[in-house]
Amino acid sequence: MITLLVAFFVSLLVALALTRLVRDRALAWGWLDQANSSRKVHVRPIPRLGGVGIVGGFFAPLCALFLVDSGVGYHFRSHTELVVGLFLGGAAIVALGLYDDLRGAGARLKFAVQFAVAFGLYAMGFRIDVIANPFGPELVLGALSLPFTVLWVVGVVNALNLIDGLDGLAGGVAFFGVGTNFILALSRGDVLLSLLLAALAGAILGFLVFNFNPASIFMGDTGSMFLGFVLAAVSIKTSTKSGTAVAMLVPVMALGLPIMDTLLAMVRRSLLGRPMFSADREHIHHRLMSHLVLSHRATVLVLYGLCGLFMLVALALNFANSAQSAMLLCGMGVLIVLLMRRLGYLDLGRARGMHQVRQRNLWLRTMVKDVTRAVRASPSLEVVWNAVRPLADALGLSRQELHFQRVRPTGLADNVVFEAQRPAGSGVPFEVRITLEADGEVLGAMLLVWRDGRAAINRDEELALEQVADAVAEVAGRLRPRADAEPGRLVAMRK
């Protein structure tokens, strides 16, 4: 027990010190998460590399075990596959997270690394062989063990990443998952898993000192994916030592909130025709804030309470027989349905218009794909402007502008402005300005104006414009040295 306490406090202190250091350096170097999207809750730029503190805090006491000549250190070093899996897999996930936080990583790269790590874990003995069935005999997976294990690891990594939407939320959710697995490991006398979980708990709490509302730093993808990775790997180990009546049900229940939120996001985006990896403001924490009119901090505390309930049910499942497990699962199922209905996920009135929304989104995605393809093939800024002009008809704009900042060989700067307007509605103008930025440098801006009476832009239109703006910024950075358009140019918009 003393070793567990030492590991916890070492992790806590290292995470505290490292998170503060990273926060100060990120502020000084401008590594900030900008509040430039309607889906984001914060209103000012915040550093987003706090995951480095979590990673450092977790590994600090584990690395010390390689230097300490003790029984615990020998026990730790003797489990080669566990140690190698956590260190190598964790390093790959952290490298991916840092790259994503600093430069941005696409879904293809993320999944390639995550699946490679998951296959590696399976090869090192992290395997799900049995799926619990409290209503009958357990399901032995056999050849399906590999895909189930891989999907579990990748799913939990992304579930923690998706739930990271409010100050302190992802860290708190992970802490409850760690707490559940720690109690189970300790009750079975598994010193090694208890040690790993104690270290992770200390690292999370050290980070939460700076991340709880109002946060001064975010964990970023580095932290959220690393937490998901460790929880996924440790959960497999704790489940393999459970009775077959509850194998894998306990970790699933312990991570019930992020798993439920991820499944809802997948269903929602599929039904609405949105890209599976697009961000929105329809997560459980967003719904709590809008439907129950809760503050940022109150929403996080309510979700902490829900995680606590999931934790208690997970622990109860571990000690319950099959009949009791079935009753607990049915009770949680009823509670989840009531919660979903209260938050508007089962609103039948909204479902009636879902088909129209899906058709428009699919059409919008096709249009954006055509526009971005034309933009990336453009040999000049004038051709870029002609490529984005179809947005006016597609989105019902009354005015559309495209601004580029150009630096001449003499060092003097001027602006290249393309503008088009047409009569489209008589309401109060509503403007949206999107900064064109590449590699931290502002290259210009897109300005779009509606006069159709709207007071906001919906998330699907915003997502489409963000994709077009990214393509325009990419090409502008390439063409700027040979920009040939005249400043102040006015282009008439055709119907």
Binding residues: 161, 221
Return the SS3 of 347.
Answer: coil
CA-closest candidate to residue 170, choices 122, 228, 111, 209: 228
Both tokens of residue 323? Answer: 């009949």
User: What single DSSP character describes residue 42?
Assistant: -
Q: Which residues lie below 8 Å from residue 75, measured CB to CB, with a gap of 6+?
A: 191, 192
* Helix, strand, coil percentages for the chain (3-state, nearest 5): 65, 10, 25
Tokens of 350: 């909204």
Measured CA to CA in angstroms, residue 34 lies from 42, 118, 289 at distances of: 9, 32, 21
The DSSP bridge partners found for residue 450 are: 430
Name the β-bridge partners of 446.
402, 434
Q: Is the dihedral of CA 410, 412, 413, 418 positive or negative?
A: negative
What is the Cα gyration radius of the chain? Answer: 25
Nearest Cα neighbor of 182 from 51, 4, 55 is 4
Bridge-based pairing state of the strands 399-407 and 413-421? antiparallel
Question: 488 CB contacts (<8 Å, ≥6 apart)?
Answer: 415, 417
Cα(339)–Cα(341) distance, rounded to whole angstroms? 5
Which of 375, 400, 401, 394 lies closest to 468 in space, CA to CA?
Answer: 375
Specify the DSSP class assigned to residue 246.
Answer: T
CA distance 405 to 443: 5
Residues in the annotated binding site for Mg(2+): 161, 221
In 3D, which of 255, 261, 283 has the Cα closest to residue 153?
255
Preceding peptide of 429 cis, ω within 30°: no
Contact 459, 38 (CB under 8 A): yes
Exposed/middle/buried for residue 218 (C-beta within 10 Å: 0-12, 13-18, 19+): buried
Q: For residues 115 and 49, what is the distance between their CA atoms, to the nearest angstrom?
A: 23
| Cβ-proximal residues to 122 (8 Å cutoff; 6+ apart), any chain | 145, 146, 149, 150
The dihedral sign for the CA sequence 157, 162, 165, 166? negative
